[in-house]
Structure 1
Amino acid sequence: MGEGSALPVGVPVPWPSATPPAGWLKCNGAAFSSEMYPNLAKAYPTNKLPDLRGEFIRGWDDGRGIDSGRTLLSLQGDMFKSHSHYFREIWGANGPDGTGGQYIVGADTNGSRINLGTIETSAPGGSETRPRNIAFNYIVRAV
């Protein structure tokens, strides 16, 4: 898998082990020596590997207009697309503090749409939005 591999130096590859094979490095944000790895320095001129731990790789937009304004190897934070939910008809109930109509107890989706502004929902969930996935160690050919 090292020297003589069909993959070019610098290509990240998912690896099913914690330890990379000889001639490969983990994509963990570590700095590397351009003297020791001159071909790797051509792919990563900052002499620093990308930190792909816990990250997904996304194809570069390259002028397509789907994810414009990005540069190669740039990091992008998480985001949840803005959207709205509408109730066509709602029924309210008195809350425990005596205020009327503060709690939705039923909804009908057959009537005309009503936008009540922001309504906070309570649902089980985690601290992020993500697709199903399997964890691999990203490694990069260094020699």
Structure 2
Amino acid sequence: MDYPNSVPSVGLVDGRFIDENAISGAPGSLIPAAWGNGVTQEILAVVKSAGIAPDENDNAQLLKALQVIVGKASPMLSVVKNIAVSRLLESDELGLLLVNGAADAVSITLPPSNAGLGVRDVIVRRVDNSGNRLVVQCSGADNIKFHTHLRSAGYPFLVLMGAGDWWHLRSDGAGGWWPVGRFDGTPLGRPVFETTTAFSPGGYGALNGAILSRAEWPWLWDHAKVSGMMWTEATRVGAEGGWSSGDGVLTFRGPEGRGEFLRVLDEGRGIDPGRNPGVVQRDQNRAHIHTPTAVAVGEGAANGAVFQTSVWSLRYTLPYQLVGTTPVGTGLSNEGGAEARPHNVAYPGRLKLI
């Protein structure tokens, strides 16, 4: 595109347009038909490339076309949209989506990731802290490419858990949505301690051996299957720290950690040999001997009776006497509780579910 320098037309100076000069009698520029048609074709080419039908009554079509083209060249548009009901998103709604599931469960369906959509970004952020399920779903056979170490194709949906949880996704134009960022990237299935009884956002549930749906948590079920810590419900007793196959068809069970001390698996070191991951080890004391020490009580003690003390932790109710080798007296009292345990603090346990 350029000025019509090659057109020997009256009213052009160095190919540029000029106004008519009534005083000198110089005529104004006459626009050649070839140049006028060329300008129109240049503009129409931009409008049509954006998928917009030309309309001679719409003088904003070039701007609209440029917005569409720039949007495809720069994946992130400055669109902020609030959503509170389930719906299919349009391609021009991608940007920052603020989703509220306080009233009910919500399912947001992404537009197809195809050549027409191109490379586009969407940030989906949850704003409510209710327990309602909030799903970000793909269209058709599209997949979100997360936890691809478990399933190379990815998964058809993800869930947002807790106020502030967010995922930043980018389409590849070929059926895939790729995570660019997320609120919490803690590895799937990891147990953690919290200093609050509330659930933190980012994909956490209770470490309580709950029964889960394979259809609702397919990535967690895939994780459990390759964990090396899988049991059936019938064989799970004594291995509650592992996973179970649930009903064998629709469900599975997560690890149980409530009230337990967690110990690092030996894995060949020899300090705690013969252990399988997730298997419970019952409490016990280290083998030791309680050695009583006989102490004479002085003259007058019948038959050489003595008080007994101990160099260990037995607690005696005095007087406790030994006559020869036969103890007489009021006997010993118990000390301790139902299990052996160190001094400790109890924090809520959580499990990374996504």
**Taking structure 2 as the reference length, what is the TM-score of the superposition?**
0.32
Amino acid at match of 1:126: G
Cα contact 1:61–1:70 (8 A) shared by 2:
yes
Do the aligned partners of 1:92 and 1:106 also contact (CA within 8 Å) in 2? no
More divergent stretch after superposition (132-141 vs 3-12): 3-12
SS in structure 2 of the partner of residue 25 of structure 1: strand
* Corresponding residue SS for 2:351: strand
- Aligned counterpart for 1:131 among listed residues 342, 347, 350: 342
Per the alignment, residue 105 of structure 1 pairs with 308
Per the alignment, do residues 122 and 141 of structure 1 end up closer, same or farther by CA in structure 2, a change over 3 Å counting?
Answer: same
- In the superposition, relative to structure 1, how do residues 38 and 83 fare at CA in structure 2: closer, same or farther (>3 Å)? same
The partner residue of 2:263 within 47, 58, 68 is 58
The alpha-carbon deviation at position 52 of structure 1 amounts to 0.8
For each residue in 1:75-106, what CA deviation from the matched residue of structure 2 results, as whole angstroms up to 9, or x when unmatched? 1111111211224x51478xxxxx986x7435
List alignment gaps of at least 5 residues for structure 1: 94-98, 109-115
CA RMSD of aligned residues (A): 3.1
Q: What's 1:31 paired with?
A: 211
Question: Can you list the C-alpha shifts for 1:28-80, whole angstroms capped at 9, x where unaligned?
Answer: 11121222122222333333211111101100011111111111111111111
For 1:105, what is the secondary structure of its paired residue? strand
Partner in structure 2 of residue 15 of structure 1: 194
Compared CA separation, residues 128 and 32, structure 1 to 2 (3 A):
same
Q: Which has the higher contact order (CA 8 A, sep 6+)?
A: 1
- 1-side partners of 2:193 and 2:274: how far apart? 27
Match of 1:113 in 2: none
Q: Give the TM-score normalised by the residue count of structure 1.
A: 0.71
**Larger helix fraction of residues:** 2
State whether structure 2 residue 270 is matched by structure 1 residue 90.
no
Structure 1 residues 51 and 12: alpha-carbon distance in aligned structure 2, compared to 1, 3 A threshold: same
Distance 2:336 2:218 in 1: 46
Determine if contact 2:209/2:256 at 8 Å carries over to the other structure. Answer: yes
The answer to whether the Cα contact below 8 Å between 1:91 and 1:107 also exists between their aligned partners in 2 is: no
Q: Residues 106 and 57 of structure 1: is their aligned pair in 2 closer, same or farther, counting only changes over 3 Å?
A: closer
Give, in whole Å, the separation in 2 of the partners of 1:68 and 1:107.
34
**Quick one: distance in 1 between partners of 2:188 and 2:209?**
17
Letter of the aligned partner of 2:194 in structure 1? W
CA contact 2:206–2:351 (8 Å) conserved in 1? yes
Separation in 1 of the partners of 2:309 and 2:344?
36
- Determine the C-alpha separation between the residues in 2 that align with 1:27 and 1:100: 60
- Asked whether the 8 Å contact 2:295–2:307 carries over to 1, the reply is yes
Bigger mean CA deviation after superposition, 3-12 or 15-24? 15-24
- In structure 2, stretches of 5+ residues that fail to align are 1-163, 168-181, 226-243, 245-251, 298-302, 312-324, 326-330
Aligned length: 127
Cα pair distance change 1:92/1:129, threshold 3 Å? farther
Q: Deviations over 1:11-43 (max 9, x none)?
A: 001012233234211011112122212222233
